[in-house]
Amino acid sequence: MNNLKCSNFQLSKYYFVFPNEIIWKCQRCTLCCKDSRKHIRHIKILKQEGIGLSRKIKVPLEHFAVPTLDKTYSHEILKYNGKCIFLKDNICKIYDSRPLICRFYPFEMKLIEKDIYHILFSGKECNAIDKGKKLNKEYFRELAKNALKNFTD
């Protein structure tokens, strides 16, 4: 995955750089929902996501997440035996309301300079690479729209 060619697009006042030639489709293996031998998962959520999820599932935020010192994400979802507490029988119980960080996997978005974000491949352990279809600009545009909506709500 090194030396990926990149493209870019503009959305509102922001510019996004994204990797080309990535073939990926989630296989629902749940590897990203739990710790592995190589990686401890940190399922972080934005303040608004925590509030919204709390309302949706009718459970206080402090019952499913702990505060973080992260400047972007306010909380981290609790885990039980190294697995996200919302993962039951290998099914995400909040899939339709899953956090931005889960929607982005195996990518992450980094601010590289004012108003310029780089969407990076970060899922080295992901089993779905080279499975599915080639991701296009529209795929990354939708991710970026979702991110901006969550960051500006």
pLDDT beyond 70 at 134: yes
Same-domain status, 113 and 147? yes
Range(s) of the domain holding residue 150: 1-27+99-153
Same-domain status, 103 and 150? yes
* CA angle in degrees (0–180, nearest 5) for 76-82-87: 75
Euclidean distance between CA atoms 123 and 106, whole angstroms: 4
Same-domain status, 81 and 103? no
pLDDT beyond 90 at 7: yes
In a domain, 120, yes or no: yes
**What band does 152 get if pLDDT is binned at 50, 70 and 90?**
low
In a domain, 3, yes or no: yes
Same-domain status, 23 and 57? no
Residue 34 · residue 82 · CB < 8 Å: yes
Query: Model-level pTM?
Result: 0.84
For the chain, the domain total comes to 2
Same-domain status, 84 and 103? no
